């Protein structure tokens, strides 16, 4: 029997159990087979096939141009590279506009990729959609705070929950999404004190990104973690490597080697 067939893939029950036991959850994005396999071998808990691929892979300024077909192609590759991590895939912009549309697109995504869960951006207004999907057996991760699919409506990228009214709304949204059946919730770029409060109020795990250290888990874009980018990472990301420098150095050495004139006296 192969090692892959013996491995146990984490489930949503395992993820919730980790919060109850006090074990912090580690989540990273992945967009391709090789990266997913390496992160899986490292023991990552959750891999997110994020629509951030629009920014870091496809070169778009926002996530809005990413299509369902894009997500399916990349999610299927990530799924093929894993046998331990729970794999979650974003439903991209325009594919979860109402419960029935979201259900139809989520079914297509799961059937064509084999991933275990989908992620939906939005606050309390997204709760009926989460409930509809969960009612049909689909695991859903929620996402509040800075929601990149709503960047134009929000008016840019900024920290959320600074004002009391907004903070109360975010707490209400988190509770509504938990009640709708979400198994976890991403808190993006929230005031850390608010993220900590929401984490304490919920039974399901919170996964923070730029929201302080007191969430039940953390997520980063893999390119920000390993320094594989042509632009600076966000301020809350602390790269553990400089892969971009390694790639440039290797390419520079290769180019120099290829372009160096050969010494005819050395023969072929």
Q: Is 8 annotated as a binding residue?
A: no
Q: Is 224 annotated as a binding residue?
A: no
Helices (H), 84-233: 99-113, 127-135, 151-154, 164-180, 192-201, 222-226
CA distance 148 to 121: 8
Phi, psi (degrees; rounded to nearest 5) at 38? -65, -45
Q: Is 119 annotated as a binding residue?
A: yes
- The DSSP element (H or E) to which 6 belongs, if any, is helix 3-6
State yes or no: is 188 an active-site residue.
yes
Which member of 188, 193, 197, 257 is catalytic? 188
Q: Is 52 annotated as a binding residue?
A: yes
Phi, psi (degrees; rounded to nearest 5) at 58? -95, -10
For tokens 């992620």, the residue is 119
Q: How far is CA 169 from the centre of its chain?
A: 23
Whose CA is closest to 177, among 104, 122, 214?
122
Binding site as annotated, residues for 3-methyl-2-oxobutanoate: 51-52, 90, 119
Residues recognised as catalytic: 188
Please give the annotated binding residues, written as ranges.
51-52, 90, 119, 121
């Amino acid at each position: 029997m192969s090692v892959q067939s013996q491995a146990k893939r984490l489930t949503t029950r395992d993820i919730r159990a980790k919060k109850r036991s006090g074990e912090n959850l580690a989540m990273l994005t992945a967009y391709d087979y090789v990266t997913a396999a390496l992160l899986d071998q490292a023991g990552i808990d959750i891999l997110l096939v994020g629509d951030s691929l629009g920014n870091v892979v496809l070169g778009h300024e926002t996530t809005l141009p990413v299509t369902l077909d894009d997500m399916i192609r990349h999610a299927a590759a990530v799924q093929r590279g894993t046998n331990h991590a729970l794999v979650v895939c974003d439903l991209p912009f325009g594919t979860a506009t109402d419960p029935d549309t979201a259900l139809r697109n989520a079914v297509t995504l799961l059937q064509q990729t084999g991933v275990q869960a989908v992620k939906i951006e939005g606050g309390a207004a997204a709760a009926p959609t989460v409930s509809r999907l969960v009612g049909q057996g689909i695991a859903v991760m929620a996402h509040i705070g800075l929601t990149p699919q709503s960047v134009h409506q929000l008016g840019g990228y900024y920290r959320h929950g600074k004002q009391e009214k907004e903070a109360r709304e975010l707490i209400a949204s988190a509770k509504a999404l938990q009640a709708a059946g979400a198994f976890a919730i991403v808190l993006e770029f929230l005031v850390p004190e608010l993220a900590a409060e929401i984490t304490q109020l919920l039974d399901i795990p919170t996964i923070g990104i730029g929201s302080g250290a007191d969430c039940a888990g953390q997520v980063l874009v893999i390119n920000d973690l390993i320094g594989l980018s042509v632009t600076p990472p966000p301020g809350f990301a602390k790269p553990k490597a400089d892969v971009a420098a390694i790639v440039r150095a290797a390419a520079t050495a290769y180019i120099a080697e290829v372009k160096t004139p050969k010494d005819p006296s050395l023969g072929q």
